[in-house]
Amino acid sequence: MTAASGFMEIALIVAFATLALGQILSIVRLVLGPTSGDRILALDTMVINALGLVVVMGIRHGVQIYFEVSLLIAMLGFVSTVALARFILRGDIIE
């Protein structure tokens, strides 16, 4: 193992740990609230961080299939954020 690949192993582990810590902090905000706007924001942040975890996993395994997974997560995350916000704003999602 060369010095460069050893450094990258450490960087991957640090990236996994940092993103997981970010998820935990977002869960704390999700539980604390206090308003529903904060909860929607915490869920949005968790979706973005999960996307980051999937991307880092793809780098770790060196496989391309994780690309589709992350694209799907990005799209569903946006749609669900908009749907939740619209439900609070209008009392209905599709009028």
- Binding residues vs another protein (CB under 8 A): 2, 4-5, 7-8, 10-12, 14-15, 18-19, 21-23, 25-26, 28-29, 35-38, 40-42, 44-45, 48-49, 51-52, 55-56, 58-59, 62, 64, 67, 70-71, 74-75, 78, 81-82, 85-86, 88-89
| Structure tokens, 17 | 């740990």
Considering the complex, what minimum distance in angstroms separates the CB of residue 95 from another protein?
14
Tell how far CA 40 is from the center of its chain: 13
Tokens of 73: 């997560």
Q: Which of 27, 7, 31 is nearest to 19 (CA)?
A: 27
